[in-house]
Structure 1
Amino acid sequence: MVSLALSVLKYCRLNLKCLLMPVKDERGDLDVSKVVKPVQATLSSLKMLDVGKWPIFSLCSEAELQLVRQACVFGSASNELLYTTVNDEIFVLGTNCCGCLGLGDVQSTIEPRRLDSLSGKKIACLSYGSGPHIVLATTEGEVFTWGHNAYSQLGNGTTNAGLVPYHISTNLSNKQVIEVACGSYHSLVLTSDGEVFAWGYNNSGQVGSGSTANQPIPRRVTGCLQSKVVVNIACGQMCSMAVVNTGEVFVWGYNGNGQLGLGSSGNQPTPCRVAALQGIRVQRVACGYAHTLVLTDEGQVYAWGANSYGQLGTGNKSNQSYPTPVVVEKDRIIEIAACHSAHTSAAKTQGGHVYMWGQCRGQSVTLPHLTHFSSTDDVFACFATPAVTWRLLSVEPDDHLTVAESLKREFDNPNTADLKFLVDGKYIYVHKVLLKIRCEHFRSSLEDNEDDIVEMSEFSYPVYRAFLEYLYTDSISLSPEEAVGLLDLATFYRENRLKKLCQQTIKQGICEENAIALLSAAVKYEAQDLEEFCFRFCINHLTVVTQTSGFAEMDHDLLKNFISKASRVGAFKN
């Protein structure tokens, strides 16, 4: 069942690609101008929240999505999900490869399951590897790991898969971790005092220990970083990066594609400064699968490493072993984005423009191209392969209310109302000006009325409250039975749109026992659509309907018309 559901998600993504197949230029590269707008248009229908851009979120209900505050989509097919809620609870769902959901088993799930072992913990940062494995730091600076562990990337001293979150204390017990980063099978953490600790797979020196032996527990990365204060870390597939408080960049690990920026392709088992950035103050570093981006304090971006998809933004596909400027636009860059599982790059300018380059839905963009997105997160949701989050996604609640949302909030609010209706001994608080704007009946009845209380006896409290609420919301919330009374009101006030809404609601509650009563109401209030619907229902359930008390008590004229009409449609033929 789970495999089928997740396969459907994958199918949707693949078919979306076919439906929006981009046009290539004469070099065979992707012409983004032919794909960005269609993709954006498609996404607009998915946006209940920003997280809706990732297909796996379609497994969550709308109510669950409304509670999401942080999220991470990961895994080789972007079929794993971890998210936190407004109540600081952590939920997971997906295929659960290698126990990467931390639930204590390897069973897949299409329904969100709460990660009880981290109950009460607030996530400060999170990263994931290719296995996948998870490294999570809490706001209190604790580190937890779980998932794939064949190369000791969980830092627990073993190579056994971690089915539940493991609290790392070895060498970190007195440290407060403020940032985490994962390569494919190795892990880094940065402490509040500027120290870097590493563990896991080390075939190319990516843990910076000076050897190529795997590192089973956290070990501080020293060498050139011994006396440095690190402010930012990042991992490529098999390499590691650190930015220090002086703006220098230190690198170590695999360098086969020049991703260390040292001008060579030899691996580096200990941290080494990127000399080519001399005189340039770097603020942030981001790593793709085998390429590197840095952002300077002047808002300039430099890139180096693998370039098979144009991920360096140089206009070609040649690898670069030295830092190369990325020309985006005159506006300064304030954010760069890359992910160790992808060949995609993105950047955001101070003016809010988002650019992307590199792998785009399996094809190549060799120069930075302006997208229609407002966030770099969108680039990875829509264009990267796999469609994962490049960082822990924060979903901030939108405090801005539209005019319609503001009106909905003010219905029945005694603090702002200037008029109240007294119905069945209960008050309903409203605003005269809105009623006059929204309803022709009130436009005349309230014109010279200076009273602040209006008594209403013609309709019941639920019906009249639903009517007034409709004027604020354009929708009704009544049971099908009560909607008959609202249909009467809508007819009396000549509110044709409300009549249609009432008919739609009434249809949802029809059954053999009340079909005749609803048919009678439809005829009485000249609701032709509802009348036709009720008549067809009666004909389709004729035997049972004719045995009900409603049919026995049917108005003579209505019964006569019903029999005549039923006869014309052949209801009484043998």
Structure 2
Amino acid sequence: MGNNSYGQCGRKVVENEIYSESHKVHRMQDFDGQVVQVACGQDHSLFLTDKGEVYSCGWGADGQTGLGHYNITSAPTKLGGDLAGVNVVQVATYGDCCLAVSADGSLFGWGNSEYLQLASVTDSTQVNVPRRLPFSGVGQVKQAACGGTGCAVLNGEGHVFVWGYGILGKGPNLVETALPEMIPPTLFGLTELNPEVRVSRIRCGLSHFAALTDRGELFVWGKNIRGCLGIGRLEDQYFPWRVRLRSAGWGVRVHSAAGQQGSLLPGPGAGQMPPAAGTGEPPGGASHRPGPVRL
């Protein structure tokens, strides 16, 4: 469902179709196996099946469909390249760069490399087939995340590595790198008194990152557009910063989600925050908030 201008919903493009008035959910049946994960990019979609195979559809001008061409594809099509015969366990995309993680901890990428996301395997700014990324020193990759200009991976030891362009989390002096750099674990709460702290999940937004630890603590960094980091102020954040949640007892238990200009995180069960009288906005009337608000 949604905008299908480039076939990203896995069905034929209908000329002059008005997507804002369509509430129909279209069933997709072009897969060999059951779909276990979906990742949506800017104008393309990725699908992972229970057989470890990756399918894609949508806009392919930067190679983000990974099908060996730069055209529009309106039906989910299985990827080959270096992914042929590989058991994939996770896919990630956001803008027009894509990553895939295999069961043995290898990392694969395709799509846009304008910001050095895939510079480890090519000087080209576009890669239209999946390529294995030969990153040394990272170890077995457990999870990958793509942003608009930067990427991140989490390895089996709970360490976070970042590369690409932007505010990557290691201070203002690191704005561009083609090879992954590890963010010091101490920035996520690792100390002599807490030696077992590990990052368990990572996410990317357009130009910001989020990391969740096994203690339920959320850390964010990057461009703080419209207060999307939720850190109580509007300045950009160059190092991981722990988000302070207003309600006692809150902890992020499973997932966080980072979007273009906002982030979501689950807390204890709570009702919807009522709008301020006559405004349709949260209490205080602000159109955007620099700190987390319970929904």
Distance 1:153 1:312, change over 3 A: same
- Residue pair 1:314, 1:366 contacting (<8 A) in 2 also: yes
How far residue 101 of structure 1 moved from its aligned partner, in angstroms, is 2.4
Residue-by-residue CA offset, 1:416-437 (whole Å, 9 max, x unaligned): xxxxxxxxxxxxxxxxxxxxxx
CA distance in 2, matches of 1:338, 1:290: 13
Given the alignment, which residue of 248, 259, 265 partners 1:347? 265
1:97 maps onto 2:97 in alignment: no
How far residue 95 of structure 1 moved from its aligned partner, in angstroms, is 4.0
Report the TM-score, using the length of structure 1 for normalisation: 0.44
Given the alignment, which residue of 325, 335, 342 partners 2:254? 335
Given the alignment, which residue of 171, 175, 186 partners 1:263? 171
Given the alignment, which residue of 310, 315, 321 partners 2:232? 315
More helix by share: 1
Distance 1:366 1:182, change over 3 A: same
State the partner residue of 2:66: 155
How far residue 369 of structure 1 moved from its aligned partner, in angstroms, is 1.8
Residue identity (%): 28
Residue-by-residue CA offset, 1:436-458 (whole Å, 9 max, x unaligned): xxxxxxxxxxxxxxxxxxxxxxx
Report the TM-score, using the length of structure 2 for normalisation: 0.82
Distance 1:362 1:292, change over 3 A: farther
CA distance in 2, matches of 1:362, 1:247: 37
1:292 maps onto 2:209 in alignment: yes
- Residue pair 2:41, 2:94 contacting (<8 A) in 1 also: yes
State the partner residue of 2:39: 127
CA distance in 2, matches of 1:290, 1:249: 16
Give the partner amino acid of 2:135: G
Residue-by-residue CA offset, 1:442-492 (whole Å, 9 max, x unaligned): xxxxxxxxxxxxxxxxxxxxxxxxxxxxxxxxxxxxxxxxxxxxxxxxxxx
Give the partner amino acid of 2:4: N
Distance 1:319 1:336, change over 3 A: farther
Give the aligned length: 268
- Residue pair 1:146, 1:166 contacting (<8 A) in 2 also: yes
State the partner residue of 1:282: 199
Distance 1:176 1:322, change over 3 A: same
CA distance in 1, matches of 2:75, 2:108: 22
- Residue pair 1:125, 1:136 contacting (<8 A) in 2 also: yes
CA distance in 1, matches of 2:111, 2:144: 16
State the partner residue of 1:3: none
- Residue pair 2:163, 2:178 contacting (<8 A) in 1 also: yes
Given the alignment, which residue of 28, 32, 56 partners 1:115? 28
CA distance in 2, matches of 1:355, 1:301: 22
Given the alignment, which residue of 118, 127, 150 partners 1:239? 150
Provide the aligned C-alpha RMSD in A.
2.6
Stretches of structure 2 that go unaligned for 5 or more consecutive residues are 191-196, 274-281
Distance 1:263 1:353, change over 3 A: farther
CA distance in 2, matches of 1:266, 1:212: 20
State the partner residue of 1:229: 140
1:181 maps onto 2:89 in alignment: no
Residue-by-residue CA offset, 1:468-524 (whole Å, 9 max, x unaligned): xxxxxxxxxxxxxxxxxxxxxxxxxxxxxxxxxxxxxxxxxxxxxxxxxxxxxxxxx
Residue-by-residue CA offset, 1:222-263 (whole Å, 9 max, x unaligned): 22455x1111221111211111110100111121xx1x1021
CA distance in 2, matches of 1:117, 1:166: 8
More strand by share: 2
State the partner residue of 1:550: none
Residue-by-residue CA offset, 1:275-305 (whole Å, 9 max, x unaligned): 2637351000111221111111111111100
Give the partner amino acid of 1:369: V
Stretches of structure 1 that go unaligned for 5 or more consecutive residues are 1-80, 82-93, 372-574
Residue-by-residue CA offset, 1:282-341 (whole Å, 9 max, x unaligned): 00011122111111111111110011211222211000111111111444321342244x
> Of the two structures, which has the highest relative contact order with CA contacts closer than 8 Å and spacing of 6 or more?
2
CA distance in 1, matches of 2:115, 2:100: 19
1:140 maps onto 2:51 in alignment: yes
Distance 1:112 1:299, change over 3 A: closer
Distance 1:155 1:225, change over 3 A: farther
